[in-house]
Amino acid sequence: MNLENKIVIVTGSGSGIGAATAKLFSAHEAITIVADINLDNAKKTVSEIVKQGGTATASKVDVTQYDEVEKLIRSTVQTHGKLDVMVNNAGIGGKQQLKTADHTHEDWHNVIAVNQTGVFYCMKTALQQMSKQGHGSIVNVASLAGLKASGNNLSYSASKFAVVGMTKSAALEYARKNIRINAVCPGFTHSALLNQLLASAPNMDEKLKRFIPMGRFGEADEIAEAICWLASENSKFITGQTITLDGGTSL
């Protein structure tokens, strides 16, 4: 993958899929801005990248705050002169797994704010810059829950279906401007969100794996590979697409 000297922002990259993605971009000699609401976690990711000989900086951002997103992208462009790739990975799950009638207002508003509105803010601001410079690639991290029904998970599912829709709509709008927008849709993948789900009921690990033909959960590094490929010139005729990485679950 040709990513050398690309200027890349990865949100939610203090841990999990985001951290794995930031590290992989850096391994391919991109210059990576590790953005996370938890600055200590972001700095930890940067430290690991630098130890491996990569180039990265940490930035604190709350994607639910438009002014913070604007500041992140503005400072990136002021420092590096451009923004080649925006990876919108920051996301959360609801605190409780409940049916729709019992779904809490708190979970609805918090999850939608991060997973849907946060992606909109990042796309909006990144696209303004990419339109000015005449190129760019955006990769949104959606979910298998954004492609098929996910019970007891309304706000998360709604937000990820929205991410898929926003990806396709924006890709249609900006294809002639040399800007590509795609999404990845991971299935059950080792992460803080999966750990939260596994802790929600006894034997949840075994129950979930029954639905995965490959019989295992995904790894963050495997999702990162797809993200970096979509962001690279290796996929330059691909836009508006979702790549499902789920070990066959959707089958």
Q: What is the pLDDT of residues 109-135, one digit of tens each?
A: 999 999 999 999 999 999 999 999 999
Tell me which long-range contacts 165-174 makes (C-beta under 8 A, separation of at least 24).
166/116, 166/119, 166/120, 166/123, 166/140, 167/138, 167/140, 167/142, 167/240, 167/242, 168/240, 170/123, 170/127, 170/138, 171/239, 171/240, 171/241, 172/240, 174/127, 174/130, 174/131
Mean pLDDT of the chain: 96
- State the catalytic residue, choosing from 66, 121, 156, 174: 156
**Is 121 a known active-site residue?**
no
- pLDDT at 154 (0 to 100): 97
pLDDT of residue 205: 87
pLDDT tens by residue, 155-178: 999 999 999 999 999 999 999 999
Instruction: Compute mean pLDDT per 10 residues along the chain, 251 residues long, and list them.
Output: 96 97 98 98 98 98 98 98 98 93 97 98 98 98 95 95 98 98 96 81 86 95 98 97 96 91
**Does the domain formed by 7-191+219-245 have CATH 2.60.40.10?**
no
63-75 pLDDT, tens per residue?
A: 999 999 999 999 9
**What length does the chain have?**
251
Domain ranges of the chain: 7-191+219-245
Distance of CA 73 to the CA centre of its chain: 16
Evaluate whether 158 touches 112 at the Cβ level (below 8 Å): yes
